[in-house]
Chains A and B, each alone.
Chain A
Amino acid sequence: MSWQALVEFSQWFFLIYFFALNAGYILLNLSSLWVIRPYIASRTLDILPQISSGLEPPVSLLVPAYNEEATIASSLRSMLQLSYARYEIVVVNDGSRDNTLQVLQREFSLVPFPEAYRVRIASKPVRGIYRSTLHPNLRVIDKENGGKADALNVGINASRYPLFCGVDADTVLQRDSLQRIVLPFLEDHRVVATGGTVRIANGCEVSGGFLTRIGLPTNLLALFQVVEYLRAFLFGRLGWSALGGLLIISGAFGVFRKEIVVEAGGYRTDTVGEDMELVVRMHRLLRSQRRAYRVVFLPDPVCWTEAPEDMRTLKNQRVRWQRGLAESLSSNFGLMFSRNGGAPGWLAFPFMMIFEWLGPLIEVLGYVLMTLFFVFGMISWQVFAVFLFAAISFGLLLSISGLLLEEISFHLYKKPSHLLGLLFAVIMENFGYRQLNSVWRLMGLWRWMVGGKGKWGDMKRKASWQKT
């Protein structure tokens, strides 16, 4: 193949790839639009005061904590005030090196508890189990450090109830979040997992463990992430859920049927993407057994989390996410095009492989090669210009679609200044931020290829939104 033919092939390949990628997302967007309006309409009466039916299944909230001394007490206080009939909170201190356990002991008056702990999923040794004398539904498990997945497995072992909800220790839940996210289990016995929307807390105000004012962050990186999260949750996950191919439930807020998770072997401890890996593995298991099941995403049960505001932390997060994605897909390759794979195996898995897993490689290669071709005079400036124009236009369309879904559905950012801020982010994230993200994700892919042990993500928390 001559150089000229190679250049011409590359031009078309990258353009078609970018087009296909964005067309795929637009289809997801349309599928979200299809379900979100009736969903919102059917929940018309939910804003009225609700009466407990008495049928709500009890839930174990599992809170893995590693070096969370700054935020753990306020997070737990908000969790203790959730409006839900019956739930317990199991905090798992994963060998924190700071004073997480001491803070818990002091704030919640913990006493040692002779629990008949049963090991259903193997884990690092448990050092002690404590019960709060102030809140009968709060227990703390102290264990040797083994990572977030290991902590969650211990939480599953110690949990009492048939459903468990994994919640990050720095997550702020809305008072009715649990009530809403459990609803699908009540309405359909086939439901094995549900996920809720995660939103960015930077710029908001939290008081007494609950969100009291919604705002936008002033930090540009965090602002871009607000738009990213809208896109990821409102049309990414909602779209896949509508198609029956949801492969991700965020570790920050998701509910699972415990027996299915135990049957699947619990969380894998050798991956950094334990939340996605578990969901993909559950699909693989249940599909192979030809069992009727559903994994559901709900757009309205909201939890709020702090987004990184500095480049280094953000980069680490994105590298970790991409690596987690690669590990989740590569270890469950059997799902793809499997005989009984359905939407997860025939639609979602290949899509993730082509556009999420290999995506960063092709995107970065596209930008780099086209720039090199232009610099070395192998393509005209017009070719280079229209390539950039098309690539950026596709990105812009996707970003603004997320905003459209937000306006149609929940409309949480109410002030005109919020809308202007979001529009600014929608446009500006396409000039550098998204490309940078692709580079970080490519680094994640590289880390996955060279291997190495995953660990808790170091997150620099400012928690400036927390008033008390």
Chain B
Amino acid sequence: MSAVESGLDFAAHSDPYIRDAFWAGAITCALAGLILLSVSVLRLSAVWRERRKQEVVNIWRPLIAGVLTGEQAPLPRLRPAALVDFLYLWLHFHESLRGGSKAMLNAMLPAMDLLKPLIRLLKRGSMQEKLLAATALGHAQSGEAWPELVALARGKAPALSIVAARALMNINAAAAADIVIPLIIARRDWSPARIAVMLNEVEPVFVERFLQAVAASVQQPYLIRLLYLVEAMELNRRLPFLRELLQGSDDAEVVAACLRLIRDPADLDLVRTRLHDPDWRVRVQAANALGRWGGPQDLPGLLALLAAPEWWVRYRAAQAIVASPFMQTEALARIAHELGDPYARDMLRQVMSEKEGA
């Protein structure tokens, strides 16, 4: 009996439903089979990659550790296929170390003739390879890679461009400033967190140039982004442009950011003028700043803030009062007792309790 006679010839059945449904199912099954094959191939290649990575780690981890302890033995040649895994390992060491050990690691790359292969990766590698190569070349402070890194820093992919910018800053901070600072200002797709990390590790010459750029941007709409970055740099010094901004700006976000950056009691006169700002975010930061730098004369202003309708203003004012070195526990208890406003009293008691538990 043939397939047609038995009704099993679904593929060429006279009923269009049977034929179409069969083909839909068969094509789907074939696709599923293809995916299954891809999964198997991916798994095999993952196993192979893992093995290769393990080999590289087994060989090179002790060798890198040896370099770090000052061993002078010549290093073996690195197989080109092992370059990416080696870079991961090398960078892992690099990002985990501080100080002089990094210089020993950096010296490894030229000693192993890896600079040229790394520049080749920068030009023709995958995204992953370019990221690794740019980071390594930056650490190795290889000037040879400068043109490629500049091109990548100005490229479209944000993850890659920011890593290239960091490499430029590592190689020559002063020269990089002209290229990277305009990019920091212009590129909205760069992660502020990554920029902040870069700014925290860069040489003082770059920091000065960056602060000059911020000072020159006081009228610009992107100023607030730059102020956040300055804040993340945790500079423990007076920034002259803050006075200008605190005196002239009406933008609550900008003023609040400036108040967070106050590091000098000489600027407190400007902080006090902001205690009654209509925007509660400004008052929160004014209370914060007075908590850090204020004196006994600021107590009435802070007590007034305890009656603010906004929870955060009350909270920061209470923190400022409680943290003041001139306030004793008895005095605080007395103030809390005498406060007529129950919201102010509750907040002061909460913060006093927080301090006791700290």
Contacts and interface: CB of A to CB of B under 8 A. Distances in A.
Interface of A: 8, 11-12, 15, 19, 22, 38, 41-45, 47-49, 51, 53-56, 111, 113-116, 118, 131, 133, 136, 183, 186-187, 380-383, 386-387, 389-390, 392-394, 396-397, 400-401, 403-404, 407-408, 411, 414, 416, 419, 423
Interface stretch (B20-28, B145-153, B289-297, B321-329): B20-28
B104 interface: no
Interface residues of B, number: 66
Given A390-B21, A403-B35, 13 more contacts: A15-B21, A41-B128, A42-B131, A53-B194, A114-B349, A115-B350, A131-B353, A187-B192, A381-B7, A386-B10, A397-B32, A404-B39, A407-B46
Chain A contact surface mostly: helix
Interface string B1-36: 000000100100101011011101110110110011
Contact of A48 (B24, B29, B92, B314): B92
B14 to A, nearest CB: 11
B159 A42 contact: yes
Contacts of A47: 88
B21 A408 contact: no
Interface in B157-205: 157-160, 163, 191-197, 200-201
Interface of B: 7, 10, 13, 15, 17-18, 20-22, 24-26, 28-29, 31-32, 35-36, 38-39, 42-43, 46, 50, 88, 91-92, 95-96, 126-128, 131-132, 135, 157-160, 163, 191-197, 200-201, 228-229, 231-232, 234, 311, 314-315, 343, 346-347, 349-350, 353-354, 357-358
A54 B200 contact: yes
Contacts of B228: 55
Nearest to B97: A49
Contacts of B36: 400, 423
Nearest to B346: A116
B22 A407 contact: no
A113 B35 contact: no
B26 to A, nearest CB: 8
B95 A386 contact: no
Contacts of B28: 22, 390, 393-394, 396-397
Contact of A407 (B26, B39, B194, B234): B39
Given A49-B96, A397-B35, A382 B7 contact: yes
Given A44-B128, A389-B21, A404-B39, A118 B353 contact: no
B196 A403 contact: no
A350 B355 CA distance: 53
Contacts of A19: 24
Q: Which of A47, A389, A419 counts the most B-chain CB atoms under 10 A from its CB?
A: A389
28 contacts: A8-B17, A15-B24, A45-B91, A45-B131, A48-B92, A51-B200, A53-B197, A53-B200, A53-B232, A114-B349, A114-B353, A115-B350, A116-B350, A136-B357, A186-B193, A380-B7, A382-B18, A390-B24, A393-B28, A394-B28, A396-B28, A396-B29, A397-B28, A397-B29, A400-B35, A401-B35, A407-B38, A407-B43
B2 to A, nearest CB: 15
A389 B22 contact: yes
Q: Which of B29, B39, B128 counts the most A-chain CB atoms under 10 A from its CB?
A: B39
Contacts of A55: 192-193, 196, 228-229, 231-232
Chain B contact surface mostly: helix
B42 A407 contact: yes
A54 B343 contact: no
A153 B232 CA distance: 32
A113 B17 contact: no
Contacts of A404: 35, 38-39, 42
A45 B164 CA distance: 13
A380 B8 CA distance: 12
A380 B91 CA distance: 66
Nearest to B163: A45
A168 B22 CA distance: 45
Contacts of B163: 45
Contacts of B22: 386, 389-390
B15 A383 contact: yes
Contacts of A11: 17
Nearest to B347: A116
Contacts of B350: 113-116
B192 A114 contact: no
B346 A48 contact: no
Contacts of A394: 25, 28
B163 to A, nearest CB: 7
Nearest to B159: A42
A116 B26 CA distance: 66
Contacts of A51: 197, 200-201
B190 to A, nearest CB: 8
A133 B25 CA distance: 63
Nearest to B94: A48
B93 to A, nearest CB: 10
Contacts of A115: 350
B127 A41 contact: yes
Q: Which of A12, A43, A54 counts the most B-chain CB atoms under 10 A from its CB?
A: A54
A386 B347 CA distance: 71
Nearest to B40: A419
B21 A386 contact: yes
A387 B127 CA distance: 45
A51 B88 CA distance: 17
